[in-house]
Homo-oligomer: A and B are copies of this chain.
Amino acid sequence: MEKEISQAVIRRMPRYYRYLGELLDDGVERISSNELSTRMRVTASQIRQDLNNFGGFGQQGYGYNVKYLYTEIGKILGLDTKHPMIILGAGNLGQALANYVDFEKRGFKLVGIFDVNPVLEGIAVRGIEIQMLSELPLFMKENLVEIAVLTLPKNKAREMADILIQNGVKAIWNFAHVDLDTPDDVIVENVHLSESLMTLSYNLSKYRQEHIIDES
């Protein structure tokens, strides 16, 4: 069995990818772990350790070739293949994600948008007509869908997750404020925005308290 790569490492990979993309745009050809560490404000040691989980992409005395490393991380992240994706919930958030151009560029191809609201039916978002959620099972039988984005209220989200799973969805990107109960072969990635905002709020309150103490 191969060494298991920790989620901590995995969550840092997209950030490396972003920085390498910027370096590439800036025409930088090579970079050392040391220089990258300065830019990203992490240790060079961590960068080398992280990358070496996936292979030796660098060269002693030279560093890393930006373009090569960028491409390789892209492959690691699965950005070299198409991922057909549907969005459930065509509210502001669903539409925001639908309109997000960069996803398409990375292989995440929007193939369907669904909502319960009949008023939205037929309205096109990025060339894709909003369909009724009731049509979802049939749609999934006729089309290959890999990723489902859940931008629905939490009561509806659980129910829809079940339908998605029954119809063979492989991954759920969940924006609803619930923890979904899913089998092991369905990947779930949660984005709990309110929890993110509460973390901000905590850090703000804490900083204030410490600052008040300093002043006294």
Asked whether, in the complex, the Cβ of A203 is within 8 Å of the Cβ of B18, the reply is no
Asked whether, in the complex, the Cβ of A173 is within 8 Å of the Cβ of B197, the reply is yes
Asked whether, in the complex, the Cβ of A191 is within 8 Å of the Cβ of B194, the reply is no
Asked whether, in the complex, the Cβ of A13 is within 8 Å of the Cβ of B95, the reply is no
Asked whether, in the complex, the Cβ of A192 is within 8 Å of the Cβ of B14, the reply is yes
Within the complex, which residue of B15, B41, B76, B171 is in contact with A195, where a contact is CB–CB below 8 Å?
B15
- Give Cα distance in the complex from A189 to B205, angstroms: 14
Asked if A200 is at the interface (CB within 8 A of a chain B CB), the reply is: yes
Q: A93-B93, A96-B93, A204-B78 are in contact. Are A189 and B199 (CB under 8 A)?
A: yes
Q: A92-B95, A173-B196 are in contact. Are A202 and B106 (CB under 8 A)?
A: no
Asked whether, in the complex, the Cβ of B187 is within 8 Å of the Cβ of A14, the reply is no
Ordered by A's residue number, 20 sampled pairs between the chains whose C-beta atoms are within 8 Å are: A11-B199, A13-B198, A13-B199, A14-B192, A14-B198, A78-B204, A79-B198, A83-B204, A91-B96, A92-B95, A100-B194, A103-B197, A106-B194, A108-B197, A146-B204, A170-B204, A185-B207, A189-B199, A189-B203, A191-B191
Asked if A157 is at the interface (CB within 8 A of a chain B CB), the reply is: no
- Give Cα distance in the complex from A108 to B199, angstroms: 13
Asked whether, in the complex, the Cβ of B173 is within 8 Å of the Cβ of A200, the reply is yes
Asked if A57 is at the interface (CB within 8 A of a chain B CB), the reply is: no
